[in-house]
Amino acid sequence: MTGKTKYRDEPLGKVRVVSDFLPPASDLAFREEGVKVTLLLSKKSLAFFKSEASKHRTRYQPMIRKLLDIYVEKQEQVKQPSRTKRFNQA
């Protein structure tokens, strides 16, 4: 973009107002309550997370926390029996 933008006083055409569909900022800035723990990791694992965090310009601890959260979510899904399996067994 080179040069200045020139605005003209022209009609915009048919304009319609749309309802606000975006969530409020307070819903986007949530943070789960954390619990501090001491965790002993292998040098190999820590080096991996630090390297990946550096590549993506982030911190390694949130990456580890997210990995654990995803694991927990998947395990909770496995523990809950599916309704279709229960009905098909009868």
In terms of pTM, does the model score above 0.85? no
> pLDDT averaged over consecutive 10-residue blocks of the chain (90 residues)?
80 85 76 89 96 94 92 88 57
Other CB atoms within 10 A of residue 51 CB = 11
Residue 41: per-residue pLDDT: 96
Residue 57: per-residue pLDDT: 93
Residue 83: per-residue pLDDT: 58
Q: Which residues of 58-83 are buried (b: 16+ CB within 10 A; e: fewer)?
A: eebeebbeeeeeeeeeeeeeeeeeee
Residue 84: per-residue pLDDT: 56
Q: What are the sequence ranges of the domains in the chain?
A: 41-81
